[in-house]
Structure 1
Amino acid sequence: MIETERELLETIKAAAKEAGELLKEGYRSDGLANFESKGASDFVTIYDKDAENAIIRCVNDSFPGIGFIGEEGGVTTGTDNDYTVIIDPLDGTNNFLHGVPHFSVSIAVTRHDELLLGSVYHPLLDEMLWAGKGVGAYLNDTPLNMPSARPFHEMLVSTCLPYHEKGNCEISLNQLSVMMPQVAGIRSPGSAALEIAYTSLGRYDAFWSEGARLDYWDIAAAIVIAREAGCTVTDLTGDPAPAHWSSLLVAHPQRHDELLQCLHSDK
């Protein structure tokens, strides 16, 4: 990894920590955070906006020409055409609003169209999962090593479920009905970035999504982490680099194809 990219990696980690401090402050304040609705059950708080602005300021201090794609701010074109920072300042806003302690800051960097760097930070646990292409994945300062694959019937898998207008409930229900009898448990905690990154730790054995709508900023950083930890990451057609991520499967290499076949058996 070249020096610029190492500096970028340290910068996004610092930016995630700075944004995380703002989120901790909001989470621990009295009462629920003020919010506005972007759509049916799709909320944004002042903390989403403040956290994204803090990330942009932090990155701009070291890389003033870089471009951004932010969940709240949209696309900001920079003068540096090589790198783009992709930001989800608060992944798990519904959890945050309801006092559920499961949310994260997610920041990725692409080089042209290639996913290069990623950091996913759980501020309440002070857990920083991060990775750079070719340099491995880490939890804080500890390198991640892919755990052994569990038997299919012992696997704990995670997913995202659609709600209101965000996705296709029928697809999710069909896939759940196929998966539920075959694995040890299914979880949908509400922060896709964390769930994907947790697969790198072995806290989950796999993550999949198709019925729920996931935006690129929800998954970009965690995909880098999962791949560097040794997971196989594709969409549900098996494509590792689709033009658009309309579905996702993250799993141990020894279980990926088996899961793919299982999820296709509902068709």
Structure 2
Amino acid sequence: MATRSPIINVMIKAADRAARGLKRDFGEVEQLQVSPKGPSDFVSTADIKAERAVREELVKARPTYGLLMEESGVTPGTDGQHRWIVDPLDGTTNFLHGLPHFCISIALERAGEVVAGVILDPIRDDLYWAERGIGAYLNGRRIRVSSRRNLGEALLATGIPFQEHGDHSAFAAELSAVMPKVAGVRRFGAAALDLAYVASGRYEGFWESGLQPWDMAAGILLVREAGGYVTEIGGGENMLDSGSVLAANDQLHGTIQRLLTSSEPWKRPRAQP
């Protein structure tokens, strides 16, 4: 079993505490109080309780670090170098519909670079973690991206724009370019887990636009430490700023990127999410 650093242990402790509450609430999902935060975008009492649990553990362990959290936003730190990036419940819509596919995602950014990440799936009890230069792990076992080279055997994942979010026509063109070439495309509704699945070889690739930093910070590090490539869909390196991400194994990243960007919408300015 891999030896975990003190910082990874801090992150796992915070994720574990949030997971206990989420599992309790998931069993009573119909009783949750839900308030609208926007079209098809909800915040539940479960989100808020999970974020509070994560925050308390992280602040107790590293009181000088800043935070970027989905529900409460930015809290500046006093050391000026470190920032936690947290999604206490990635897959909220799944959670609220009783679908057992959601997770807690915690990343640590140092001087603008993500150096540690933890993703915990409370229902399956799957714990993913990665640290820069140390590798990526699932339940203590070292993981690697898939070694498949043939696009026709590749299973990909994506996120589908909903209601007023994103550019629907651009996504439809991307999907039309990819679907005839691959073994399948999945949409499970939790970007952090999609990235973790790429890191562990369950998917060959994943792409999505309109994401937030907390959706992908930990997952990007997982994929890279597992030997994969991560860029923006168009090839840039500013995923956390742009919200665009393409993660894949080292054999297929370029091929998938060329397919996605061959569609007509990439030849004109793209709508903002």
Q: Give TM class, smaller chain.
A: over 0.9
Q: Does 1:216 align with 2:185?
A: no
**1:32, 1:97 within 8 Å by CA — same for their partners in 2?**
no
**2:216, 2:240 within 8 Å by CA — same for their partners in 1?**
no
The normalised TM-score by structure 2 is 0.92
Cα distance in 2 for partners of 1:266, 1:221 equals: 29
Cα distance in 2 for partners of 1:221, 1:181 equals: 31
Report the Cα offset of residue 246 of structure 1.
3.1
Report the Cα offset of residue 259 of structure 1.
0.7
Report the Cα offset of residue 264 of structure 1.
1.1
Distance 1:243 1:69, change over 3 A: closer
Structure 1 residue aligned with 2:197: 198
Picking from 233, 245, 251, the partner of 2:242 is 245
Distance 1:192 1:243, change over 3 A: closer
Q: Which amino acid aligns with 2:184?
A: G
**1:32, 1:99 within 8 Å by CA — same for their partners in 2?**
no
Cα distance in 2 for partners of 1:155, 1:242 equals: 23
Root mean square deviation of aligned Cα = 1.4
Cα distance in 1 for partners of 2:85, 2:150 equals: 35
Structure 2 residue aligned with 1:37: 36
Structure 2 residue aligned with 1:148: 147
- Render the CA deviation track for 1:55-103: whole Å, top value 9, x for unaligned: 0110111111111000001001121211100010000000000000100
Report the Cα offset of residue 34 of structure 1.
1.8
Cα distance in 2 for partners of 1:165, 1:30 equals: 26
Gap runs ≥5 in structure 2: 265-273
The normalised TM-score by structure 1 is 0.94
Identity of aligned residues (%): 39
Q: Report matched runs for 1:155-174 at 5 Å.
A: 155-174=154-173
**1:32, 1:98 within 8 Å by CA — same for their partners in 2?**
no
**1:196, 1:226 within 8 Å by CA — same for their partners in 2?**
yes
Structure 2 residue aligned with 1:133: 132
Q: Secondary structure at the residue paired with 1:189?
A: coil
Report the Cα offset of residue 243 of structure 1.
6.8
Q: Which amino acid aligns with 1:224?
A: L
Structure 1 residue aligned with 2:95: 96
Report the Cα offset of residue 32 of structure 1.
4.6
Structure 2 residue aligned with 1:187: 186
Structure 2 residue aligned with 1:119: 118
Distance 1:88 1:144, change over 3 A: same
Cα distance in 2 for partners of 1:134, 1:160 equals: 29
Gap runs ≥5 in structure 1: none
**2:145, 2:223 within 8 Å by CA — same for their partners in 1?**
no
Aligned residue pairs, count = 261
Q: Does 1:232 align with 2:229?
A: yes
Cα distance in 2 for partners of 1:197, 1:239 equals: 21
- Render the CA deviation track for 1:199-227: whole Å, top value 9, x for unaligned: 011111100113xx211111111001111
Report the Cα offset of residue 170 of structure 1.
0.9
Q: Secondary structure at the residue paired with 1:202?
A: coil
Structure 2 residue aligned with 1:69: 68
Cα distance in 2 for partners of 1:243, 1:66 equals: 19
Q: Which amino acid aligns with 1:64?
A: P
- Render the CA deviation track for 1:223-256: whole Å, top value 9, x for unaligned: 0111100110000221234572331110011111
**2:43, 2:92 within 8 Å by CA — same for their partners in 1?**
yes
- Render the CA deviation track for 1:120-163: whole Å, top value 9, x for unaligned: 11000110111000000000111113331241011110000100
